[in-house]
Chains A and B, each alone.
Chain A
Amino acid sequence: MTAPGSRVGSRVGSRVDDAISRAHRDEWARVVATLTRRFGDLGTAEDATAEAFATAVERWPKDGVPASPGAWLTTTASRKAIDRIRREARRDDKHEEARLLFDDDPPTPRGAIEDDRLRLLFTCCHPALSSDARVALTLRMVGGLTVPEIARAFLVQEPAMGQRITRAKAKIRAAHIPYRVPAREDLPARVDGVLAVLFLVFNEGYLATGPGTDPLRGDLTAEAIRLARLVRELLPDHGETTGLLALMLLTEARAAARVSTSGELVTLEEQDRSAWDRALVDEGHALARSTLAAVAAGGPPPGRYQLLAAINAVHTDAREARDTDWSQVVALYDRLVRTDPTPIVALNRAVAVAEVDGPEVALALVDRLPLDGYHAFHATRAELLRRLGRSREARGAYSRAIDLAGNSAETAYLARRRGQLGAG
């Protein structure tokens, strides 16, 4: 079930490896989506796509990179799928086999937009699936992550994650979950689930896990942004969709400044702001302003993505870290806590409170949170303890954070901060 050919992106080296890695990033979802439409089954599409990538890893170094990698992968994956279906087909099923071989049915234009990947996305995010299954399935089918990567991202054992994905595929098949973009009247309800999944995909790209993994998975963040843009084309007046896109762009804009040349995480405070991508910042600000204007014009109150986008707009508006309007940030977090009362939001709010009311007040807020298994909880505590001069406790908290953090840049940053603490 794990794709042998995926995650080739982490192998460094030759131009062929780069081509395979690029093809994996650009073509995985497209190939899975095309095959799902053609063969009507997600599992067949996934397995055949993974086999095609494995074949590419074997063949491209010998035969050269094909002129059109996407077409090559689609053709190869289709052949693999047909081989598989033939092996499994009954003898009297010649008609079905012939239909598969010729593929002369045009795709049925039933959804609002004819993009196979969007169709794949809505299927993976179907409300009849559990929320956990939706995220896992989207990362596997649309994002092309392997089962171990997804398991790691969600702190779940690999076999359990594999089973979660297998069960979701089996339900899609047995319950006949349709492979299409929902009808226009159902879209607003369905899109919330899609946004939640895209946000998780984006976050996995922004703080990628895995010791051998690049700390930033630009492929995942780019994919999440691309899909968010597609959803926004469908629903231009949906505030939360615009808010999520703005949030992603304002976060992505800082990517280049976020990891140092030595591969260490650079905090917002220490980032070289001239390295931010101005075009993305400007686009993100424009989108955030448009959602504020819609709310001001009597639209529905802002949800979590619009509020998070507004918080990020305040940060990216400051020329220097010291110019940040922290009370505005705290005010926005106060509203966010009401919309989304989770311990993680409370933790992030405490970070802003530290800037306004000092580390002692913030630490009291943090210590109450039930987040002992979460690396950022310990990293935040460590930072606050350091600022309070409680070095020994800070060291312990950094160590806990390092043990729990899965991101290599973050681990490097935390280790350096721990090293800077004096003896005590």
Chain B
Amino acid sequence: MPKYLLSVYGPAERTPYGAYPTKEAMLESFADTGAFNDQLVADGYFVFADGLAEVSTATVVDGHGEQPVLTDGPYLEAKEHLGGFWIVEVPDLDVALRLAAEGSKACRGKVEVRPFETAESFQALLDS
């Protein structure tokens, strides 16, 4: 079955409650997201999911040269950043899109759905 990355983007500037305006809103969303995750597991779609610490905690590493070069901060400067993601394994895009809609409602963010390469597509790359 194909796997998809469902990425949630949120503002770079966070409140004390992450991407949420109030503590109540955060707790409600956590509860909804938790229920959604449980359903993913029950349906056999769940591969991995988690939320990321705020973007200012990121470090970029360039290992091309002799010594790795470290840079404080995210790779791309932007107003919105990846805040968390799911990896799901589902029969096709329609299921992935339905899950993304449910996940988006639960976490209160927009979700980008992107397929992973598959054994076949890797093979096509190797054969090209």
Which A residues are closer than 8 A to B by beta carbons? 88, 90, 126, 128, 174-178, 182, 186
Contact = CB atoms under 8 A, between A and B. Distances in A.
Given A176-B115, A178-B94, A186-B94, 4 more contacts: A90-B127, A174-B117, A175-B115, A178-B93
A174 B92 contact: no
Interface of A is mostly: loop
B127 A88 contact: yes
Nearest to B117: A174
B57 interface: no
B120 to A, nearest CB: 9
A176 B93 contact: yes
A224 B65 CA distance: 59
A174 B94 CA distance: 13
Q: Which 7 A-B pairs have the closest CB atoms?
A: A178-B92, A176-B2, A175-B115, A176-B92, A177-B93, A175-B93, A176-B93
B40 interface: no
Contacts of A186: 94
A5 B93 CA distance: 33
B13 to A, nearest CB: 31
B2 A128 contact: no
B97 A128 contact: yes
Nearest to B121: A174
Interface in B75-128: 91-94, 97, 113, 115, 117, 121, 123, 127
A167 to B, nearest CB: 14
Contacts of A90: 123, 127
Most buried by A among B92, B113, B117, B123: B92
23 contacts: A88-B127, A90-B123, A90-B127, A126-B93, A128-B93, A128-B97, A174-B115, A174-B121, A175-B93, A175-B113, A175-B115, A176-B2, A176-B92, A176-B93, A176-B115, A177-B92, A177-B94, A178-B91, A178-B92, A178-B93, A178-B94, A182-B94, A186-B94
Interface residues of B, number: 12
Contacts of A177: 92-94
A186 to B, nearest CB: 8
A351 B2 CA distance: 53
A178 B115 CA distance: 13
A336 B118 CA distance: 47
Interface in B36-92: 91-92
A109 to B, nearest CB: 15
A176 B4 CA distance: 10
B96 to A, nearest CB: 8
Contacts of B94: 177-178, 182, 186
A128 B94 CA distance: 9
A21 to B, nearest CB: 36
Nearest to A88: B127
Contacts of B115: 174-176
Contacts of A126: 93
A128 B114 CA distance: 11
Contacts of B121: 174
A90 B126 CA distance: 11
Nearest to A190: B94
Nearest to B124: A88
A182 B94 CA distance: 9
Nearest to B1: A176
Most A CB atoms within 10 A — which of B91, B94, B127? Answer: B94
Contacts of B91: 178
A129 to B, nearest CB: 11
A351 B64 CA distance: 66
B92 to A, nearest CB: 4
Contacts of B2: 176
Nearest to B95: A178
A174 B121 CA distance: 8
Contacts of B93: 126, 128, 175-178
Nearest to B3: A176
A175 B95 CA distance: 11
A174 B113 CA distance: 12
A186 B91 CA distance: 17
